[in-house]
Structure 1
Amino acid sequence: MSHFHPLKNLKSDIPASIVVFLVALPLCLGIALASGAPLYSGLIAGIVGGIVVASISGSPAGVSGPAAGLAVIVLTAIQDLGTFEVFLVAVVLAGIIQLIMGFARGGIIAYYFPSSVIMGMLSGIGIIIFIKQIPHAFGYDRSPEGDLSFLGKGGENAFTELVNAVNFISPGALIITAVSLAILLLWETSFMKKQKIFQLIPGPLVAVLSGVLLNQIFSAMPDFALREDQSVNVPLADSFSGFLSNFTFPDLAALANPQVYITAIVIAVVASLETLLCVEATDKLDPYKRVTPTNRELKAQGVGNIISGMIGGLPITQVIVRSSANIQSGGKTKASAIIHGFLLLGSIIAIPHLLNLIPLATLAAILFIVGYKLAKPSVFKKMYKQGKGQFIPFIATILGIVFTDLLVGLGIGLIVAIFYILLNNYQITHYTKREEKEDGKEKMRLVLAQELTFINKATILKALADIPDNTKVEIDATNTQYMHHDIYEIIEDFRISAKGRDIDVTVKNLTEPVEGPTPPKFTVSSHSDKGEDVKEVIH
């Protein structure tokens, strides 16, 4: 698609890549912290996700990196396997499994998730991002940045953290949050968007520079000075050899350990599912409605995890926080994801000291906007208008994600969506049509649905029981592609019992079900010798 050639869209992609870089940096560090892994492992995963995965991927707007949804799995796996080096072997193996899944065309899994659940996932993550950034905004934080689960350590949860944040307000952090938020909201106004100069300078970059400036000013004011843990904390290296020493390599002797293979399968399955659902969600957010090739995405993620594991990085998935920030900042092609990877690499080599001056309060303000855009009130209104069948699975997914975690929330949403499918299937079994009287008797026509399972027994029984005595009834099964044997028996029993109620029953195109799916029916029109059209239903 020439319109979306990376070189033609750099004026949109470069500003977007800066925003994604600013969002990704603290998330990479925070997820590493939450995973009980070296901080550099999160940065390595972010760099590989940006440069390697985005280059291979067919996703125009998706951004990959270490995932919050995997943090608990990683933490447990490192403890169970004993060392981080052994865990890295599992990451490499997980990448190989993902590659195999890609070649085996396993990318269709996400298509089985209804859009109400995907929209619920986006809004749920938006709410969690918003809630989790409030402590940073107030200047209080004891939980890691990338933690996207409700429950925290030591009995804390997302809401008790908010209470703590109010009790421990840091005036310096609060002022920086307010100034950063004001800048970001100003950049969102239609007036600013029309000015060419402001189109070239991204609002988040101005917010970050303002945050760094205020941080420097406040450092000379004891009441407003930020503590060390209120700013970004990138590990510093004094020399190139010191930089290289931050890379860790897998302990290949662990290939003899069966536990490593079990961990690899778990990581591969969970990472693939998170990636595919994120792809689905990102494609929905994409204003150009492009479709990502999912099998190619699995292959890209597989290669990314092999490389990440080989050089000491965390497992990688496509990540909705960074992907949505990319889209909302105007990123048009995968160049923005690739550039963000190079920015991460360049920043930790060239300007780690400068990065450590960025207040977490400024990054919280950026993520407030990202979270709000994912869970806007207009999304809730739109889902409500689509009816209960869409709205209730949407709300169930949000509540599940907010009060448990991403995967459990998705499971809850999917179960509720399936319940509604079964409920509809239970309700929509037939329609009844009253016709003109014939021979002094009421005439009715009962047209059966396309698919009738044992779930529909009660509805069919009630419909037949409600037919008045002394009536003519035609039961039409022309459109029915599948009928469970129980439904067939109910209709056959009704034919017999109807005689006692003076009901004349004719049944059209009803055949006894056989094992396996019923062959499709085709209606063939022909012309009789008498000049009449005759319709015959053929299986």
Structure 2
Amino acid sequence: MFKTIKSDLPASIVVFFVALPLCLGIALASGAPLFSGVIAGIIGGVVVGALSGSKIGVSGPAAGLAAIVLTAISTLGGYENFLVAVVLGGVIQLILGILRAGIIAYYFPSSVIKGMLTGIGVIIILKQIPHFFGYESDPQGDFAFFQLDGENTFSGIISTINHISPGSAFIGIIGLSILIFWDKILSKKGRMFQVIQGPLVVVVLGIIFYTLTRSNALLGIDKSHLVSVPVPEDAASFIAQFRFPNFSVITNPEVWVVAFTIALVASLETLLCVEATDKIDPNKNVTPTNRELLAQGIGNIISGLVGGLPITQVIVRSSANIQARGVSKMSAIIHGLLLLISVVLIPRLLNMIPLSVLAAILLVVGYKLAKPSLFLKMINLGWKQSIPFIVTVGGIVFTDLLIGISLGLAVGVVVILIKSYQNSHFLHIEDNSNGAKKLKITLAEEVTFFNKGAILKELDRIPENFSLQLDVRQTRYLDHDIIEILDDFAYKAKARNINIQLISELVVVENPSSYLEFFTLRPKSA
């Protein structure tokens, strides 16, 4: 793994700067101690990063679980009680991994996964605009449409107009300009500009700017617009930030309900992120999903035992890792170590970083996930790809991640049903210039009850006194419902003087009396 350290170390620094405000923001949005988000980020990086089979995935606290955590802490009567559910949720994830439930990840359509990535990119951009201009009405980790402060994503942006902080906006614009210039021009000029990443330069510049302007009435940045890491006074106060589960409530049924909820939601978010991350990985690595569930389960057990939030693989940090050219899991591990080192040794320095600078970094991440060219590409692929894609994007932006994906998946299933309805058979009309009245219907390879309507409609349209060839040579699966339809049609065909010729791989049968008997006695012929 150390062979790729030249790529992984700079990438880990970028991921660290993306992860730090998100860890704190998600903890705040969850109603949990701020340090609990940092704990989850450290364990997600070091422990899950080491155990996972993903080379570029990064784990940590997830915004998608914030609402669940916020409600559960209140329902269970305190944070220590909630930690029991986190530990049990990790155990359940271990069981899911052993049962090989990771295969679920392979059943999400590509259009939905691309919609998920794009939707997250759009919501990152929209959510970072207020922070970019120095208006922190909502925590960085709250990605829901309806915000904790009572506003929604768009009203929060509108409110920003009346609350712009000149200092935050100025250094944010300078930082964004540097990031774009670094990515488009400097990174192509030499190896040094690839090793030293633009985000690191921008963060250092932000700290210098804050230090030089803190007493300036116009450009000075208020502390509410800075990173806010807990600052321990000594080793004892640092250790006191850790919280431990109260296992006396383990028999409480509500604890188990929360545990199963955490396990299912965290596993689904992880599997979706794995699928999405593998798609944008330039090296096209394939993550073993069952191993990922095992790694996440162990991570959540440890996180719960020491006071951390639930952990999932997270697409924002993972995509930042890919964009920063991370190659191996060392990037995720080092980012976790950087989180640990920073909150122990330099928390005061971290608290001098303007949030607008970190927002500029996230704006670049969001844009690369939601490039306008991708919208055009999906539209050009046709409605079967574009509609699930657009529904997923809209669902994520206007609701949340899981609801958006569920809506996209539902539309994807409807598209499949429509195409299945259309592709059940092929109708060929024979040349009847010599007076012959012949039709030929060739059934598809798999014909299920979804195809009942299309086949019934086609059979009912056959005129009287025609000959019908029913070709099942390519059919490998014929649903019992379809066989019953054919049986019923055989009865109607006699009354309409329709001659039926059934063609299978082995035999040709004229006017079979029973299709059910034919397919039961000669299953290989179908």
TM tier relative to shorter chain:
over 0.9
Checking the alignment, whether the CA contact within 8 Å between 1:401 and 1:410 is kept in structure 2 is: yes
Q: Which of 382, 388, 391 is matched with 2:383 structurally?
A: 388
Checking the alignment, whether the CA contact within 8 Å between 1:485 and 1:512 is kept in structure 2 is: no
Query: Is 1:175 aligned to 2:170, yes or no?
Result: yes
Q: Distance in 1 between matches of 2:516 and 2:220?
A: 78
Query: Is 1:258 aligned to 2:223, yes or no?
Result: no
Q: 1:472 to 1:512 in 2, by over 3 A?
A: closer
Q: Which of 121, 127, 139 is matched with 1:126 structurally?
A: 121
Which residue of structure 1 lines up, in the alignment, with residue 293 of structure 2? 298
Query: Is 1:398 aligned to 2:386, yes or no?
Result: no
Which residue of structure 2 lines up, in the alignment, with residue 244 of structure 1? 239
Q: Distance in 1 between matches of 2:429 and 2:257?
A: 62
Offset at 1:478? 2.1
Offset at 1:466? 3.4
Q: Distance in 2 between matches of 1:217 and 1:383?
A: 47
Q: 1:349 to 1:191 in 2, by over 3 A?
A: closer
Q: Distance in 2 between matches of 1:64 and 1:387?
A: 34
Which residue of structure 2 lines up, in the alignment, with residue 309 of structure 1? 304
Query: Is 1:462 aligned to 2:457, yes or no?
Result: yes
Which residue of structure 1 lines up, in the alignment, with residue 224 of structure 2? 229
Which residue of structure 1 lines up, in the alignment, with residue 17 of structure 2? 22
Checking the alignment, whether the CA contact within 8 Å between 1:477 and 1:508 is kept in structure 2 is: yes
Offset at 1:360? 0.2
Offset at 1:378? 1.9
Checking the alignment, whether the CA contact within 8 Å between 2:29 and 2:148 is kept in structure 1 is: no
Q: Which of 362, 366, 370 is matched with 2:365 structurally?
A: 370
Q: 1:275 to 1:518 in 2, by over 3 A?
A: farther
Matches for 1:198-217 after TM superposition, within 5 Å:
198-217=193-212
1:375-408 Cα distance to aligned partner (Å, 9 max, x none) = 1112212222222111111111111111111111
Matches for 1:313-324 after TM superposition, within 5 Å:
313-324=308-319
SS in 1 for 2:430: strand
Q: Which segments of 5 or more consecutive residues in structure 2 lack a partner in the other structure?
A: 505-511
What residue identity is the alignment partner of 1:480? Answer: T
SS in 2 for 1:431: strand
Which residue of structure 1 lines up, in the alignment, with residue 430 of structure 2? 435
The range that moved more, 144-153 or 446-455, is: 446-455
What residue identity is the alignment partner of 1:18? Answer: I
Q: Which of 101, 106, 127 is matched with 1:111 structurally?
A: 106
Which residue of structure 1 lines up, in the alignment, with residue 2 of structure 2? 7
1:498-523 Cα distance to aligned partner (Å, 9 max, x none) = 45555432122387458xx989965x
1:312-352 Cα distance to aligned partner (Å, 9 max, x none) = 11111100000000001000000000000010000011111
Checking the alignment, whether the CA contact within 8 Å between 2:472 and 2:503 is kept in structure 1 is: yes
Q: Which segments of 5 or more consecutive residues in structure 1 lack a partner in the other structure?
A: 1-5, 523-536
What residue identity is the alignment partner of 2:298? Answer: V
Matches for 1:60-99 after TM superposition, within 5 Å:
60-99=55-94
Q: Distance in 1 between matches of 2:523 and 2:184?
A: 58
Q: Distance in 1 between matches of 2:496 and 2:56?
A: 66
1:186-240 Cα distance to aligned partner (Å, 9 max, x none) = 0111453232221121000011111111112221211111111100000101111
What residue identity is the alignment partner of 1:134? Answer: I
Query: Is 1:349 aligned to 2:347, yes or no?
Result: no
Query: Is 1:418 aligned to 2:418, yes or no?
Result: no
Percent identity between matched residues is 56
Query: Is 1:508 aligned to 2:503, yes or no?
Result: yes
Q: Which of 442, 448, 469 is matched with 1:447 structurally?
A: 442
SS in 2 for 1:155: coil
Checking the alignment, whether the CA contact within 8 Å between 1:481 and 1:518 is kept in structure 2 is: no
1:42-90 Cα distance to aligned partner (Å, 9 max, x none) = 0000001111110111100000000100000000000001111111111
Q: Distance in 1 between matches of 2:497 and 2:86?
A: 73
Q: TM-score, normalised by structure 2?
A: 0.94
Which residue of structure 2 lines up, in the alignment, with residue 185 of structure 1? 180
Q: CA RMSD in A?
A: 2.0
Q: Distance in 1 between matches of 2:487 and 2:300?
A: 60
Q: TM-score, normalised by structure 1?
A: 0.92
Checking the alignment, whether the CA contact within 8 Å between 1:50 and 1:341 is kept in structure 2 is: yes
Checking the alignment, whether the CA contact within 8 Å between 1:484 and 1:513 is kept in structure 2 is: no
Q: 1:485 to 1:256 in 2, by over 3 A?
A: closer
Q: 1:468 to 1:32 in 2, by over 3 A?
A: same
What residue identity is the alignment partner of 1:78? Answer: I
Q: 1:202 to 1:448 in 2, by over 3 A?
A: same
The range that moved more, 24-33 or 185-194, is: 185-194
Q: 1:133 to 1:520 in 2, by over 3 A?
A: farther
What residue identity is the alignment partner of 2:393? Answer: I
Matches for 1:263-278 after TM superposition, within 5 Å:
263-278=258-273
Q: Distance in 1 between matches of 2:521 and 2:69?
A: 49
Tell me the matched-pair count: 517
Checking the alignment, whether the CA contact within 8 Å between 1:247 and 1:311 is kept in structure 2 is: yes
Q: 1:53 to 1:34 in 2, by over 3 A?
A: same
Query: Is 1:146 aligned to 2:153, yes or no?
Result: no
Divergent runs of 4+, >6 A:
517-521
Offset at 1:263? 1.1
Checking the alignment, whether the CA contact within 8 Å between 2:58 and 2:314 is kept in structure 1 is: yes
What residue identity is the alignment partner of 2:412? Answer: A
Q: 1:503 to 1:57 in 2, by over 3 A?
A: same
Checking the alignment, whether the CA contact within 8 Å between 1:482 and 1:518 is kept in structure 2 is: no
Q: Distance in 2 between matches of 1:518 and 1:109?
A: 34
The range that moved more, 348-357 or 440-449, is: 440-449
Checking the alignment, whether the CA contact within 8 Å between 2:378 and 2:386 is kept in structure 1 is: yes
Q: Distance in 1 between matches of 2:522 and 2:146?
A: 51
What residue identity is the alignment partner of 2:330? Answer: A
